[in-house]
Structure 1
């Protein structure tokens, strides 16, 4: 990579305007997205190659070849067409999943704040182009290699590139300076893609994106979404392997037995292939992939991104939801509503009255203590309320908030003045400590804070000082001679969706805990409005004095935690987990990353959150709304619910097919199922289990059930037992039709037609039984499930065609059906459903459904 210089890529645009949006679009089109090539992306050709290696495809091809050898050219060609159709369906569904994943990868790429056309806009990191002006601040990942145009107290962690764990200082590029092309070392004017801003804020101009960055040169790969859930995938793989072993064993035995008893080895191979096809549950991997990918897509439509699809499985198990207050329960639209000085307390909300000179000074110092480039809602509200005219002050130094001092201090130099201005803003108790107030003054301030906080107002204190311009600045804010100025009260209204979302959590057995850094009385007021139990509030100072065992007991009874430090969030998460809770945790800051990673479900804020928090999380909220979390839990439960229904149906439906394939071997009666018939049935099973069940609406009681046990297996003994019972009853029904038709002395073609029709209708019955937990679901007749209605209509039309049109009847080997035949089939299927319904009610009580 060539060493960049202080030459702008902005093509004559004013620097503060950034790139023109149209020019940015053209550069993105010419140079490609700001991302690294991914070896894990699958093209339709790769997907087709994977499908062609599937055992089911090999069995279809084998059967087609045998038909051609036997001289049944038409049946061989039809079977090849079925094989091609099976491949096409799989490729289309998998390609659709890949496209969804591509969209999700774009949405979950780190966000970047850029200046385009004079406007600050937040865009996906992949849309950053060469020449963009990017703004980075504490907690951000640098989106591309860039030259620093401005840098305020900037520290960057470049360990991803250099292996050096100590952050390095950065400074702005000087005119005509040649910048180094490699990372590492202090006081360099270049930042590199993938590095982490530890402190400060800066504006930088991008000179390299994507594979042309330093991280691209050394071949580092970005995280991608995994479309499969590891826990479910392991269970599915084990079951498929067991079925496959059983199927191939049965195929081998069938070929040997049939060949020895009947002497036709080619027909024996056909019978064996039919049995193998009937027992091979090749739908499991397809269903898992489609459900997880489409599940992530459905959740994304609710303004929530799943960075790790394992979260979809875990969502239904969440028992505790830990949420912060500002921006999640509230709207994150802070405004100044109250001001208080030692001589005056003014409720400023809606009065329209201008502040006095004393209150103007309070607002001015509050604005000086706020970040000039920051996007914190409180900083913006205070800067907006400050009506004083800006002067030519220069920010000399910022002292950030620390564990030991919950306050921010900023030092400003004014041209022509002998002293610099020092402004501090933060927690009232921290500012009182900086001002060294006596107990009487501190008690009076506490009283004012509590009266404001009881109204749900967040209170910040402000202090000011002066320092000799010629003297060196102290290393600690505590060394400035601060004097107390006053209190600023800010309000952030509760989101409208919160009370209803809280009520849903309660009915769903999910406990909600609010963890905030805010003042206890404010937190209590907001918690009360949200519907939390506000009887007890635990503070960070109280938690600091508890052992882990004591904290585990304390969290059992407290729903509101106030004045909590980020590292204390981690202790709360671990305390809850030690009690067996499955914890979902929200967070947005750099220091929230450990608690997000430790939680069973880490939920990062997409709007105000840092990239570090997003990378540590499983889920990202694009709108930072608490209601979105509850909607996500609902969707997660629905996805798992429908996945369980689909898997139960797959297990059940293969039993009557396999049974009907094996029955003639033991009775000496004519074969019913040939590979062609199995292929026809698969054309029903595949879309039914992957499309119909995935699109099923949520059960009415979905959010009235307790959370699922985290140790519960998808293929539980109860679920498999219920599926086996369904399958055996379906087989008994079809076998009854088969044996009754044989006893009546019907020709082999008529027996095959009767048995096949009964098998198809039993298959449809299994779909109707399994698509709902409540009973027999036939609401597809009223248009609730158009996909299922289409499949049923298409299937019945094909069945009618197969017995009414002579060429189709010859192809399938069917005889004509008469009215009494159809009546026998319908009666058998109705009896099957009437027996299943009470058994389903019993299975539901036992937890099998």
Structure 2
């Protein structure tokens, strides 16, 4: 800092600098703002401290470049102290905890609290009532293992991996597995405009006369002007030259000979070429900023006739160009003047011209943007556009992609609001324009803090802080390296339609993970009451430790095909987020139902089969083992769908097959060679019809309770 540097056209700016003096200095800041057109800079001292830092006219930043002009400046920041360096540092910071991670953590702590309450109680009750602290300890330990959802890491990982593999086939790279679920839970997608909604290539959209009617002659003259100029062609010139196949322009170019050129400079903001026409006359063709063209024109042409520009008509003519600007177009005016042949032309000849018409340019939206946005909105995802570009251009693009615009908010407004005020405005706003990278990051942050799962789609250096802040950052393979490094998901194709597929895949993943969590949590909660009750009333261990572990092992195996399960359409129609309160309500309603039927089994075993006698303990333990295993194995088919199971919605073949296999093993074990080793004994024939009745009643009551929970909105 403190070094004095000199800049000229083509230079990369090596640090954050303040301009001391300059001449016609234009700087490209697209890497920081996303705005593709150069910005003019001055050496003026600015008093307005509320202005966004990137809009200060006397400051230039590391990572930008000089388009034209020259300057002398003083270095004010280098390295990580620069604006770009501060953005780069966000990549090294720990990414905020996502909604998925928060949900898993909440569930884990819920299960830990269950165990911390349950295990000591079981140990103490069995120790005091049975008199054997050694047996009580091992029984409590087995209960702890049984209450642990040890399959959760496997189920989550397989579900996420399956989703990632499915997305890779659609040319989407998932960098972080948990981002699959975040993609499904996303209810707000914030997107940059340039390069994401648009093709990032400026096109000539309109070439029209002074009343905005299409005019091929305007295109012909503009083409001659851009074709014959020898200066540096900008994106607008290239857009004009892309129209060479229209109206036989190449043939007409060959009929003209370049005579002279009056180069562009930033004080005039126009440029002219002089060509010799086929009839030998000379014609000066000028294009540039409409305000400058208007000041040099005395006539206008309309329908082949030339009319003087009367004072009363000036505002009408300007209104036509302003309407194009208001529609989001970058507008140039075109004028001409005919001369008798002469050898040289100067800037003074650019007066008394005839206004011919306008050229309107736009970075058009991608073909897939409109259907992708419509599809996302249909699936409950709100779209907000966050861009460094101006609000007029952004509004035009949003209208073209079918995005309903409610409110527009500018960067300087964001700067002036505190977080509480900003989140209220952000909820209602569709377009955020003239934003700095810090503004984008802050908007994403306040929306996340307000309970939303936020995705951000961007591809520029200026998007990296917001990509890092979002629950799921989405970029494309052509993005800047820093943007790809900050993103969680990378699209290998420019089509945005894969976003919809990603959202649906994420919701399928979430639905299957939630099936296991609901089932495991409610089952464990019910088992807690069942074990406590049995420990108090039964004069021996209600189930041997090895039986608990065998039950737990078989039950876990029955759940392994959950990642392959089908998902009902209504479960992926809208975003679904982790709500530990709703999960707790579900557990409190469904869990005790299994306890009701466990207690029913206790009564049957104690009173029907006379198991009060400790000598018949193995019969009681076997009866409860089989009932417990079958009810836990079948319950997934009730919980997995909001419809009537087996009739309106069936599980996947692997899940159905595994359920049948585990139930068969559970029924076979009391009669198997392993029965004595596991402490089992054969069950009386009357047990089986009573068990079938128990299972039917259990599934029926659980389904009715689930429907009630559904009406309450707790699912």
TM-score band, normalised by the shorter chain?
A: 0.5 to 0.7
Q: Choose from 351, 359, 368 the match for 1:487.
A: 359
Change in Cα spacing, 1:814 to 1:299, as seen in structure 2 (3 Å) is same
Give the structure 2 partner of residue 722 of structure 1: 589
Q: Which has the higher contact order (CA 8 A, sep 6+)?
A: 2
Check conservation: 2:555, 2:633, Cα contact below 8 A.
no
Check conservation: 1:540, 1:562, Cα contact below 8 A.
yes
Give the structure 2 partner of residue 360 of structure 1: 224
Give the structure 1 partner of residue 462 of structure 2: 591
Can you list the C-alpha shifts for 1:602-627, whole angstroms capped at 9, x where unaligned?
64431443233334445444435443
> Matches of 1:368 and 1:334 in 2, distance apart?
16
Give the structure 2 partner of residue 249 of structure 1: 120
- For the pair 1:498 / 2:366, whether they are aligned, the reply is no
> Matches of 2:230 and 2:711 in 1, distance apart?
62
Give the structure 2 partner of residue 848 of structure 1: 714
> Matches of 1:533 and 1:823 in 2, distance apart?
61
> Matches of 1:685 and 1:629 in 2, distance apart?
36
Provide the secondary structure at the position in 1 that maps to 2:676.
Answer: helix
Give the structure 2 partner of residue 766 of structure 1: 635
Give the structure 1 partner of residue 555 of structure 2: 685
Following TM superposition, by how much is the alpha carbon of 1:759 offset from its aligned partner in structure 2, in angstroms?
Answer: 1.2
- For the pair 1:834 / 2:700, whether they are aligned, the reply is yes
Change in Cα spacing, 1:812 to 1:596, as seen in structure 2 (3 Å) is closer
Can you list the C-alpha shifts for 1:258-308, whole angstroms capped at 9, x where unaligned?
662xx6x76556544433433344344555555556555555555555556
TM-score by length of 2: 0.63
Alignment map for 1:728-807 (pairs within 5 Å): 728-743=595-610, 748-776=617-645, 784-805=651-672, 807=673
Give the structure 1 partner of residue 497 of structure 2: 627
Give the structure 1 partner of residue 569 of structure 2: 700
Provide the secondary structure at the position in 2 that maps to 1:701.
Answer: helix
Deviates more, 1:241-250 or 1:560-569: 560-569
> Matches of 2:231 and 2:663 in 1, distance apart?
73
Change in Cα spacing, 1:726 to 1:615, as seen in structure 2 (3 Å) is farther
Alignment map for 1:202-281 (pairs within 5 Å): 230-250=101-121, 252-253=123-124, 256-257=127-128, 260=131, 270-281=138-149
> Matches of 2:121 and 2:712 in 1, distance apart?
32
Check conservation: 2:415, 2:439, Cα contact below 8 A.
no
Can you list the C-alpha shifts for 1:680-720, whole angstroms capped at 9, x where unaligned?
3223333455x444444444324555x5678x437753233
Provide the secondary structure at the position in 1 that maps to 2:686.
Answer: helix
Following TM superposition, by how much is the alpha carbon of 1:827 offset from its aligned partner in structure 2, in angstroms?
Answer: 0.5
Following TM superposition, by how much is the alpha carbon of 1:225 offset from its aligned partner in structure 2, in angstroms?
Answer: 12
> Matches of 1:698 and 1:519 in 2, distance apart?
43
Gaps of at least 5 residues in structure 1 are 1-136, 141-164, 171-185, 187-191, 200-219, 372-377, 390-397, 400-404, 411-423, 465-480
Can you list the C-alpha shifts for 1:419-460, whole angstroms capped at 9, x where unaligned?
xxxxx99xx8xx446879579889747625745986xx9546
Check conservation: 1:588, 1:609, Cα contact below 8 A.
yes
Check conservation: 2:457, 2:475, Cα contact below 8 A.
yes
Give the structure 1 partner of residue 47 of structure 2: none
Change in Cα spacing, 1:821 to 1:613, as seen in structure 2 (3 Å) is same
Following TM superposition, by how much is the alpha carbon of 1:796 offset from its aligned partner in structure 2, in angstroms?
Answer: 2.7
Check conservation: 2:542, 2:620, Cα contact below 8 A.
yes
Change in Cα spacing, 1:247 to 1:560, as seen in structure 2 (3 Å) is closer
Following TM superposition, by how much is the alpha carbon of 1:795 offset from its aligned partner in structure 2, in angstroms?
Answer: 0.8
> Matches of 1:366 and 1:242 in 2, distance apart?
76
Check conservation: 1:321, 1:511, Cα contact below 8 A.
yes
Provide the secondary structure at the position in 2 that maps to 1:512.
Answer: strand
> Matches of 1:795 and 1:224 in 2, distance apart?
42
Provide the secondary structure at the position in 2 that maps to 1:799.
Answer: helix
Alignment map for 1:622-701 (pairs within 5 Å): 622-655=492-525, 657=527, 665-668=535-538, 671=541, 673-689=543-559, 691-701=560-570
Check conservation: 2:426, 2:443, Cα contact below 8 A.
yes
Following TM superposition, by how much is the alpha carbon of 1:653 offset from its aligned partner in structure 2, in angstroms?
Answer: 2.1
- For the pair 1:321 / 2:189, whether they are aligned, the reply is yes
Alignment map for 1:279-290 (pairs within 5 Å): 279-290=147-158
> Matches of 1:499 and 1:437 in 2, distance apart?
44
Alignment map for 1:85-234 (pairs within 5 Å): 230-234=101-105
Following TM superposition, by how much is the alpha carbon of 1:828 offset from its aligned partner in structure 2, in angstroms?
Answer: 0.9
- For the pair 1:605 / 2:475, whether they are aligned, the reply is yes
Change in Cα spacing, 1:579 to 1:241, as seen in structure 2 (3 Å) is closer
> Matches of 2:702 and 2:447 in 1, distance apart?
42
**Residue correspondences, number:** 583
Provide the secondary structure at the position in 1 that maps to 2:524.
Answer: helix
Provide the secondary structure at the position in 2 that maps to 1:808.
Answer: coil
Give the structure 1 partner of residue 4 of structure 2: none
> Matches of 2:227 and 2:596 in 1, distance apart?
78
Following TM superposition, by how much is the alpha carbon of 1:825 offset from its aligned partner in structure 2, in angstroms?
Answer: 0.6
Gaps of at least 5 residues in structure 2 are 1-28, 33-59, 66-74, 86-90, 254-263, 272-285, 297-310, 336-349
Give the structure 2 partner of residue 150 of structure 1: none
Q: CA RMSD, aligned part only?
A: 5.7
> Matches of 2:96 and 2:413 in 1, distance apart?
37
> Matches of 2:676 and 2:184 in 1, distance apart?
51
Can you list the C-alpha shifts for 1:364-412, whole angstroms capped at 9, x where unaligned?
76994347xxxxxx898666546889xxxxxxxx99xxxxx9xx999xx
TM-score by length of 1: 0.54
Following TM superposition, by how much is the alpha carbon of 1:832 offset from its aligned partner in structure 2, in angstroms?
Answer: 1.2
Change in Cα spacing, 1:812 to 1:657, as seen in structure 2 (3 Å) is farther
> Matches of 1:831 and 1:222 in 2, distance apart?
54
Change in Cα spacing, 1:522 to 1:830, as seen in structure 2 (3 Å) is same
> Matches of 1:169 and 1:506 in 2, distance apart?
40
Check conservation: 1:367, 1:382, Cα contact below 8 A.
no
- For the pair 1:369 / 2:219, whether they are aligned, the reply is no
Provide the secondary structure at the position in 2 that maps to 1:356.
Answer: helix
Give the structure 1 partner of residue 674 of structure 2: 808
Following TM superposition, by how much is the alpha carbon of 1:649 offset from its aligned partner in structure 2, in angstroms?
Answer: 1.2
> Matches of 2:233 and 2:314 in 1, distance apart?
22
> Matches of 1:513 and 1:649 in 2, distance apart?
36
Following TM superposition, by how much is the alpha carbon of 1:820 offset from its aligned partner in structure 2, in angstroms?
Answer: 3.2
Change in Cα spacing, 1:677 to 1:495, as seen in structure 2 (3 Å) is farther
